[in-house]
Each structure stands twice: as structure tokens, then as C-alpha cells.
Amino acid sequence: MTLIPTPMRSEKSTLSGTLSESSPTQLLTRREQFWAESYEFLLSRGYQLRPRYHPEWAPSWGPKRNPIQHECDDFLTSYNTNALDALCIKDKQKVVLKRVNGKELKILRHLDALRSDARNHTIPLLDVIPFPGTEWTFVVMPYCRRFNSPPFHCRDEFVDAMTQYIENMVIEESRLIPKGSHWCDPDSHSGFSGHFFSWKNRCSLRPAVQYYYIDFGLSKHFPGGKESARITATLRTFPMIPELSLTVPYNPFYVDVFQLGLAMSRIIDVYPALEDFRIVAASLTVDEPHARATLEDALLQLNCVCDQMSPSLRRKRIWEKGITRWKKVTRIVFNGQWGE
């Protein structure tokens, strides 16, 4: 299991006075230069990047306008080196382009070939574009967002998400956020804060929202199966997992189970109404690897807790810890909230 990455929030510059005097090339970060250099190639393959990355881009705000005040989309900077949003010219759908190496591509293709299995929740591969003269390949994936955003509306939404997580998650966005979100600031429609951001509750959508695993840059393939799998490594995101070691080999599949339990526990920490599900998270985070619940047992346990609740309780709205009354009102009335 991997943590779900999300587009990095843009760092909007406060140097608007000097920006207008800079050349367009100077306004692009070193990481963005790669995408600008790839613009024409990707366009020839049917994918258009935002105007900021066009080879002949000229800032839309000009010398006398404040780019933040006028909400100029091409002012927003992406700091993600290997991924960027794009428009598929053929169907006008937003997609994500990711630059991957041969190892990650092999894993993605292997998992995509298993898509007929309903339990396979890995991100679909829409297109694969070799990058001539380099070791890199661009993969095209659906435009998604972090699995826990927008906030969970009720227990049923949490159970559905965790069920798909356990089965083998980011969340598809097109139906959830009808107005779309911006790559540089996923909690806004335009990329600029301060505006109202609206969404639909997941439990109201049919067919149900799909969750995906998307990032396999650190993944390994074990043809011999999980029982014989052994690695030595540490995790920057979850250094507290007991068996992690640079010298003593351990089974990474048990680490995946522990990570899932930690992710579940962190969600429960945010929503007091989900406390009844803590027992599931606890069974996945036992210190002794072999004593942890299997994913099959965790799924049964999750459903058992859910079955003890009435349908009305499962659909009852839940709130994050410490949420203000104003946010509650705006979500209830308008299905959204003001950006911060």
C-alpha cells in the first residue's frame, strides 16, 4: 500500500511588483522548465498543458495588473516535479500526466492488466507515451483528488472508502466536484483561495465513487508471493512501524497492513463519530506483525461494526473535530464551504 499523493498546493508569490518586470522564462521554476520544454511533444500526442507552459507564454496579467487580485490562472505555480494536469484534446477531459521510470511502468502495466478483477483499485492507465531520447515515459491517468477530501459526510461514506482501501485509493473527481478543482490548489475551483468551493456528497452519487491507489514509485514486485517477501528499508511517512529496519529483513506486506491501520486511525481521530471503528484500526496496528489482522478479517470486522448500526445512523451526518458552526451551516445549506 502507498500513501495517496495529491498535487502540491501552489506557493503564490507576493512579489507581484517585480514579477511584471521579469521575463516569462524567469517566472518558471526549475521543475516547471521541464514541462515547458515538453509542451510541444505532449501536444503532438494529444495532451495540452496549461498556458503557463506554452513555449511562447506571456504572463496574462501584464505590467500593471496584480495577478492574485485578477486571479490569473497562469500565475499559479506547480511544484510537483513528476506530475502535472493536462487537457485531453480528444474528449476535453482533465487528466494527469506522470513521468515514470521503467520499473514503475512495469508495475503499473502489470496491475492494469488485472483490471477485470473488481477488487483491483489501482489507477487506470489511459495512455502510455514513451519520451524519446530519455529513460522516462509519460503515463496518462484520470484526474483524481485525495481520498479524504471533501470531508466525509456520514459513516456510510467512511465504510465505503475503507472497504475499497482494504480490497486492494485517491478518489475520482469528475462527479464529486462538478465545477472541477485546480491542480495548484485542490480545495478551490480556480486555484485562488477565498471563493466558495462546492461538492456533492459521495453517498448521493450513483454509481458509487471509485477510489484508487496511484503511486507505485517505491513499489516492488514479489513473484514468489507475499510469504517469502523480504526487504530492508525505512519509511519517512510512517517511521513508527515496529519492524522497519535497514539491517534486519522484514515482510513488507505486514507493513502495508500496519500503514492501512494508521491511515484509518488518523481519519477516526478527525471524526469523533467514527470511534466505533477504532477496533478495526487497532487490529491492524498490533506491534507483532503475525498478530495483525489479515485484510480479509479486517473487512469482516468493518462490516460487523457497520451491521450493528441502524441505516439511519450510518447515513447521519458526521463532523470533523472542532468544526465551526458557520462551516456546518454552509455545508448543510450549500454543500460546500468558503476557501481559506
At 118-145, the pLDDT tens digits run 778 889 999 999 999 899 999 999 998 8
- The answer to whether residue 157 scores a pLDDT higher than 80 is yes
Q: Which of 97, 76, 203, 77 is nearest to 143 (CA)?
A: 97
pLDDT at 7: 40
Is the domain 31-142 a CATH 1.10.3470 member?
A: no
Residue 171 identity:
I
Position with higher pLDDT, 82 vs 4? 82
Position with higher pLDDT, 58 vs 288? 288
pLDDT at 66: 75
Listed range (13-22, 59-68, 211-220) with the worst mean pLDDT: 13-22
Q: Distance between CA 208 and CA 299 in Å, rounded?
A: 18
pTM for the model stands at: 0.75
Kindly list the domain boundaries of the chain, sorted by start residue: 31-142, 231-309
Band of residue 249 on the pLDDT scale cut at 50, 70, 90: very high
